[in-house]
A = this chain, B = another copy of it.
Amino acid sequence: MPDQAHATDQAAAEQLPATGDLRDTTQPTRRATVPALEAMLHTAMPVLDHGFVRVVDYMGDDGAIVQAARVSYGRGTRKVSEDTGLIRYLMRHRHSTPFEMCEIKYHVKLPIFVARQWIRHRMANVNEISARYSILDREFYIPEPQHLAAQSTSNRQGRGDVLEGEAACAVLDLLREDASRCHDHYALMLGEGGSPEAPESGYGLARELARMNLTLNTYTQWYWKADLHNLLGFLSLRLDSHAQYEIRVYAEAMLRSVRAWVPIAAAAFEDYRVGAFTFSASMLAVLRRQLAGEAVTQAQSGLSRREWDEMQAVLAGGDAMTAA
């Protein structure tokens, strides 16, 4: 959707100061620099219908992880490991502090209900548009029809089949109409020319009060900055197939930037975290029996039905959570 991307980009450039002009100029620096990430800098990756993720700044690279890990070893142990092996070792053994030496800052536009999930990750720095000061734009997230899922019957927090036909239309109409009406009334309450929709007939209500009339799919924006260790923690939770679709797409856009930025760490992350599975002590005991040729059943395994299903799903090449 190149047009939309462009439009979003435009809007953001208008709304937020001082980034547009950075795009075309470069400065010399003696800091570690990553050309692949430089190429993405300041350019919005479109997400959902009106959202985006844009890398605004960064610090460090794969080399900074190695440098921090090597300070532990000092002189005596310098030549030992080759960088890739070292980064993979750190990731496998959850030695997190070297990854904290890299930092990245994003500018994100996202629906409020997504922002509410996101903000639960506390180890980050955030500056969000305040609706006490500013008037929020008339932009809401309306799902694409193919993402309009029914409640899962097997999984309390999940999605089931896609809604179709009249039901889908009815739901989309309700979402669109309610969000629009709520924003129109928001503008009306603010009144006094505060918005084009209610040029003269408004009530002049304080912004900090009027905002409570907005729906949770209204878009907001923030700067969000985190170190690589905490970013990977965020991604490992939000890339999961059971994360809500509307936040997973942000995580996927961010993963693209991580691959450009720290390719070795990103590959280690995908191997050891995203695609990995942790076997408990009890599961390991079952595994050893199976590898020794024994045919173990759930009843004999000592595992609960749920754990057994998760383990078998993984061994069958699937995803532990799909068994849940």
Q: Which residues of A are at the interface with B, using a C-beta cutoff of 8 A?
A: 14-19, 22-23, 25-33, 38, 41-42, 57-60, 63-64, 66-78, 80, 85, 88-89, 92, 97-98, 100-101, 103, 105, 111-113, 115-116, 119-120, 122-123, 125-130, 132-135, 141, 143, 148-152, 156-160, 163, 167, 170-171, 174-175, 178-179, 181-182, 185, 188-190, 192, 194, 203-209, 211-217, 221-223, 225, 227, 244, 270-272, 274-284, 287-288, 290-291, 304, 306-307, 310, 314-315, 317
5 contacts between A and B (CB under 8 A): A17-B78, A71-B129, A100-B125, A122-B123, A149-B206
Contact A205 B171 (CB under 8 A): yes
Q: A26-B30, A225-B227 are in contact. List 18 more A-B contacts (CB 8 A).
A: A25-B30, A27-B31, A27-B33, A58-B59, A59-B103, A72-B127, A72-B128, A97-B120, A103-B225, A150-B203, A150-B204, A163-B205, A178-B178, A178-B185, A271-B280, A272-B280, A277-B284, A284-B315
Contact A217 B212 (CB under 8 A): yes
CA distance A41 to B33 in the complex (A): 14
Hey, which chain B residues are within 8 Å of A73, CB to CB? 130, 133-134, 156
Identify which of A148, A185, A206 gathers the most chain B CB atoms within 10 Å of its CB.
Answer: A206
Hey, which chain B residues are within 8 Å of A215, CB to CB? 182, 212-216
**Could you tell me the distance in whole angstroms from the C-beta of A211 to the nearest C-beta in chain B?**
6
